[in-house]
Structure 1
Amino acid sequence: MSLFAAQIYPGQGLGFLVLGASLHDILTRLKAEPQRFPKLDLVYEYTSPVKEPVVLNLPTNGLRLRFDGPQQRLRLIEVLDFTKSQLTYKDKDVLRPPTAAQTASVQPEILSGPTFRHIYNRLLGPTFPGEYIQPETGDETGMGVYVLSYPGIAFTFPLSGSSWSPKKDVVSLLSSSTSHPASSMAIFKGDSWPDARERLYVQTIDPRDTFAAIFKGKEPVADEVRLVRIHGEGHLEVVRPDAVPPFWIKLGLTSPQELVAVLGPPDAIYRKNDQRMSIHKARPASRTYSRTDERLQDDSTDTDQSSAHTATDDSDEENEDGEVAGNVSGECFYNYFYHGFDILISTPATPSQCPPSKKPANPEGIVPTNAPSRLVASKVILHGNVPGSYPFNRHRRCRWEIVYLKPEKGQDVVNSESPFEEVEERLHQEWKSIYKNTEEAKVRQRGMVLNRDWGDSPGSSCELLGGWEESVGGKRTNPSGTEDVRGLGNTTLFGFPGLVFEVLKNGTVSGLTVF
């Protein structure tokens, strides 16, 4: 295994590990180099995986990365073992390789990290006094830690309680013969560690600024989607960085050309071919069938491994009224893994009805007269990238808000971090007027269990894409090695007008389809 070699950028990053980068981006990069990063341990709170921080341990490399839960942005980089990575600052080694004589004469712990003298004289220079943390009660060693902070970077030195005195200056404390080398290092955004830790997971970090500073504009960063606001009637407001105006996706109207012009070309194109949920579609009492011999067409731009690349016959049921997915009509998904969502491109249909509390934007629900002859965005799937879920790390996490559910006094905005129990209650209140009675509402909004373990997932009614076998947090083996365990297990689908939620057993929304 080759050592991970990286430059330190205080307040910005460690090599390609950049503060503000998404969990999806970091995991994708690490998984691309299994020889250098052979082991990835993901730690998250089972009951609240999108609210509490997510920790990614790299034990082979001596690193630990901390991400916030809602945005899944890298907030803190920790070096826990200096000997397992080759780190430099302005081309100077943080831990100088020992000579043969030093290896033979010096105690091993002395060579485990940079000394204060090396940090002070060769790397960073003088700084303000640090912070001493007393040993825990009952600690027989009596060892506390002294945290020495510089802007954007801090070092932790073991220091016994008997050696600590507030009257001693930092040079006297850490340069004495009894002092120990640094045991860990942290890279963060802030002037000092005491200042940064108070707002570590809530401060705003713009990855564009960090990337530009480190790579000097050589690697342009696309304008990320920060939030998707759902306004009802198939209207979605795509919010991007502050200086970039929002972009509106109007289902049934927005063309593929408009999507590509604003969002860029899709990362992949998925040709729909799964019809296992078509039985749940509403059908008229009588229908005339016609048999046509249509086959799936191969497309060189179809880079999604879960797409069908072989020609297959379509059944009578699949051919009716142009409902065939992936046929010559050109119906397909635009996969935007970097943005965190997929968009179904198909022939237009009347968008979902207007929420009762909102004035209709299109009172007559008119589809343009030339609509049948062109393709438009008809559905959007927003992915939660929930740790432990079956599709984890296929997409970056996409945050959303349901704008038409205006919060009353004491209520929070319904968003991607809201427990589904709360989301369900608010939606019940919004849509209860369209049903005859409570029983009808319960029947129409009951859940449907979705099993992710048996091959590819269904892909028609709710457009849930399969093919996540290679993702982190997907297929795992229990300690006995006798059976497979799939993260958080089966999910349940809940439908409301214009919305389909995929909900995990812990009540977290894993995905949201807007149509």
Structure 2
Amino acid sequence: MATARDSPASVFPGRALGFLTLGASLHHVLTRLKSLPEMYTALELIYDSSQPLHQPVIIRLPENGLRLRFDGPDQRLRLIEVLDFSKNALVYKTQEIAKASKSPSDPPASGPGFRHIYNRLFGPTYPGEYIPPAAGETHGIYVLSYPGVAFSFTLLHSAWSEKRDFVSLMSSSAASFAVSMAIFQGSSWSDAQSQLYTRQPQYPRSSALMGKNKESVADEVELVKVHEGGHIELMRRSSNPFSIILGETTPQDLITELGPPDAIYRKSDSRILIHGEGEKNPHGASNGGGNLPTPPTDPSDPDPHFESALTDESEEDSAPTAHQESGPLSSDCFYNYFSHGFDILVAPSSSSDRRSPGSPTREPSATGGTSELTATKILLHGNVPGSYPFNRHRRCRWVLEVGSSQASITSETAYEEISPKLKERWRGSYSSPTEEASFQRGMVLNRGWGETPGSSIELLGSWEENSTARNKPSAGSGMTNSLGNTELYGFPGLLFEVLKNGSVNCLTVY
């Protein structure tokens, strides 16, 4: 069985450690790590449960001596840290940086020495940064920095002097072997620290876009702009924006611009259809097929427009057919784009009002009763740590452009800030106060009673330094039961799935 001790990992300063590449998405890295259970036997996800989209997210690999830091809003890898050289065999070009212990029972292997780094690996560099010890401690930390990579050494504080040549100081017995290594984007560690989580990543979210055949891989979506009238604009990394017009954009358009879907999900969910049935729906619209009916006029009736949030995921028992690009579809289906962070419902176009202000009126199809298949709904996933569907999709960032609002609404905005802005925007757009109340009344959705996705991740719901509760899931469970409940809130053309901490876990545009 291959392990990290047997397979040396190449160090690429400012870029990567093995397959771990700076700028890679949290979803991509976790998926890759989980595909190698014999090498990465334990994974810990550390995040701030109250602000999971604003504070960094950390993956810790305790059996591999690694720690990976991601920014919160975009969930992209910003810092790779080697904390235990004895658990990693590392090479730079043809030179060995550190030699891992052959087995856990062997004496720990030490990290590289200053002379080895300075003379054989990276050569001369500028003086590093000395961090004095805390009160009562005898050793400080000396950080030796090169472009894109830095090493930390413990240094006897009594030997430190700003006037002393750092090469002779670090070559003396007062300095230890390197105790850690960091890979980052920047000319030096001091330069990288100030922009660690805000600097634009140089490399893409997926390693597939770095290969020689990247022209065959669809360009990644950087941001989704949601306009009124069912107009969604996808801003891409290196290509022109691609616009999706709900009710007009065809499956062929989607595949041409976004590539074939990662999966196609056809299983229909009828758990909430009862809320759209009965005589109280004046328009008699059907709740199937993703064409959302007019909310009921009786405020005591639950809201049928919440149905969309129940059909946003592919499941193992649905036997999805991937990469089906042509031919008529037997039923409405979702195109699952896990790598882009969204799902798109493909269904017969409808002449019914789409409810979003500014939506054009559609004429009924004149093709013998057969409507053309078009994109009718898009679900933008937040991939919020701690949420039930975490890591099914990579995070999709969006901005909601409604009216002439001066304050922007983004995927990082808490729902308590979003709600009053949208209420003001669409005030007077409803047929009655009852209809307005029916849209904006929250409905609780429990995802924790079904079969949870398999996971080997240990979830730590707070900072690594302050964590008091470590909720380790049971076998076969991805999350704890308390993480399943979310609330759904609707506005014309929009549906928000909101977690208990106020984060928007999914935005549905229809």
What is the TM-score with the length of structure 2 in the denominator? 0.82
Q: For residues 61 and 329 of structure 2, what CA distance do their matches in structure 1 show?
A: 47
Residues of 2 paired with 1:332 and 1:158: CA distance? 58
Distance 2:87 2:200 in 1: 31
Aligned to 1:502: 497
Q: Is 1:308 equivalent to 2:304 in the alignment? A: no
Task: Work out the CA distance in 2 between the residues paired with 1:481 and 1:330.
Answer: 37
- How far is 1:442 from its partner? 3.1
Question: Is residue 345 of structure 1 aligned with residue 352 of structure 2?
Answer: no
Question: Residue 374 of structure 1 corresponds to which residue in structure 2?
Answer: 372
Shift, 1:40, TM fit: 0.4
- Name the SS of the counterpart of 2:190 in structure 1: helix
Aligned residues: 456
State the shift of 1:284 in Å: 5.3
Q: Classify 1:128/1:334 alpha carbon distance in 2 versus 1 (closer, same or farther; 3 Å).
A: same
User: What residue in structure 2 maps to residue 135 of structure 1?
Assistant: 133
1:390 aligns with 2:375: no
* CA 253–436 in structure 1, closer or farther in 2 if over 3 Å, else same: closer
How far is 1:471 from its partner?
A: 7.7
Whether contact under 8 Å (1:346, 1:376) holds in the other structure is yes
**Structure 1 counterpart of 2:453, from 451, 465, 468:** 468
Describe the SS at the equivalent of 1:186: strand
User: Match of 1:425?
Assistant: 420
**Offset at residue 235 of structure 1 (A):** 1.0
Contact 1:383 1:510 in 2 (8 A): yes
Matched, 1:278 2:273: yes
Q: 2:221, 2:340 within 8 Å by CA — same for their partners in 1? A: yes
Specify whether residues 481 and 77 from structure 1 end up closer, same or farther in structure 2 by C-alpha distance, changes over 3 A only: closer
Match status 1:169 vs 2:192: no
Closer, same or farther: CA 343–474 of 1 in aligned 2, 3 Å: farther
Find the aligned partners of 1:257 and 1:444 in 2 and give their Cα distance.
33
Name the Cα RMSD after superposition: 3.3
Which residue of the partner structure matches residue 266 of structure 1? 261
- Which residue of the other structure, out of 246, 249, 252, is the alignment partner of 1:254? 249
Q: Secondary structure at the match of 2:233?
A: strand
- Structure 1 residue 425 displacement after superposition: 1.0
Q: Hey, what's the Cα distance between the residues in 2 that align with 1:175 and 1:441?
A: 73
Q: How does 1:173-212 map to 2 (within 5 A)?
A: 173-208=169-204
SS in 2 for 1:335: strand
Mark the runs of 5 or more structure 1 residues left unpaired by the alignment. Answer: 289-302, 311-326, 457-466
Distance 1:175 1:428, change over 3 A: same
Once the two structures are TM-superposed, the CA of residue 368 in structure 1 deviates from its matched residue by: 5.4
Residue 90 of structure 1 aligns with which residue?
A: 93
Written as runs of structure 1 = structure 2, the 5 A alignment for 1:114-129 is: 114-129=112-127
Matches of 2:119 and 2:509 in 1, distance apart? 58
SS in 2 for 1:433: coil
Alpha-carbon distance in structure 1 between the residues aligned to 2:508 and 2:275: 16
Unpaired segments ≥5 residues, structure 2: 285-312, 321-327, 462-469
Give the distance between the partners of 2:70 and 2:148, measured in 1 at CA: 17
Structure 1 427/23 Cα, relative in aligned 2: closer, same or farther at 3 Å? same
Tell me the residue number matched to 1:402: 400
State how far apart, in whole Å, the 2-side matches of 1:18 and 1:453 are.
33
Are positions 1:230 and 2:226 aligned together? yes
Cα distance change of structure 1 residues 480 and 436 upon mapping to structure 2, 3 Å threshold: closer
The SS at the match of 1:261 is helix
Residues 60-85 of structure 1 show CA distances to partners (whole Å, capped at 9, x for unaligned) of 00000000011100000000001101
Q: What is the distance in 1 between the residues matched to 2:145 and 2:363?
A: 62
Give the 3 Å change call, closer, same or farther, for CA 305–60 of structure 1 in structure 2: same
Contact 2:24/2:205 (CA < 8 Å) preserved in 1?
Answer: no
Which residues of 2 match residues 356-375 of structure 1 at below 5 A? 360=358, 362=360, 364-366=361-363, 369-370=366-367, 372-375=370-373
Would you say 1:20 and 2:18 are equivalent positions?
A: no
Q: Equivalent residue of 2:344, what SS?
A: strand
In structure 2, do the counterparts of structure 1 residues 454 and 361 end up closer, same or farther at CA, with 3 Å as the change threshold? closer
Q: 1:455 to 1:488 in 2, by over 3 A?
A: closer
1:461 is matched with none
Q: Trace 1:483-498 onto structure 2 (pairs within 5 A).
A: 485-486=480-481, 488-498=483-493
Give the alignment's TM-score, normalised by structure 1: 0.81
SS in 2 for 1:25: helix
Q: CA deviation at 1:177?
A: 2.2
Task: Say if 2:28 and 2:206, in contact at 8 Å, map to a contact too.
Answer: no
Aligned equivalent of 2:35: 32
Question: Are residues 472 and 274 of structure 1, via their aligned partners in 2, closer, same or farther at CA, if it must alter by over 3 Å?
Answer: farther
User: Which amino acid counterpart does residue 308 of structure 1 have in structure 2?
Assistant: S
| Contact persistence 1:469–1:475 (CA under 8 A) | no
User: Residues 252 and 351 of structure 1 are in contact (CA less than 8 Å); yes or no, is this contact kept in structure 2?
Assistant: no
Q: Supply the AA of the counterpart residue of 1:205.
A: P
More displaced stretch, 474-483 vs 327-336: 474-483
Corresponding residue SS for 2:335: strand
Aligned counterparts of 2:168 and 2:428: Cα–Cα separation in 1? 74
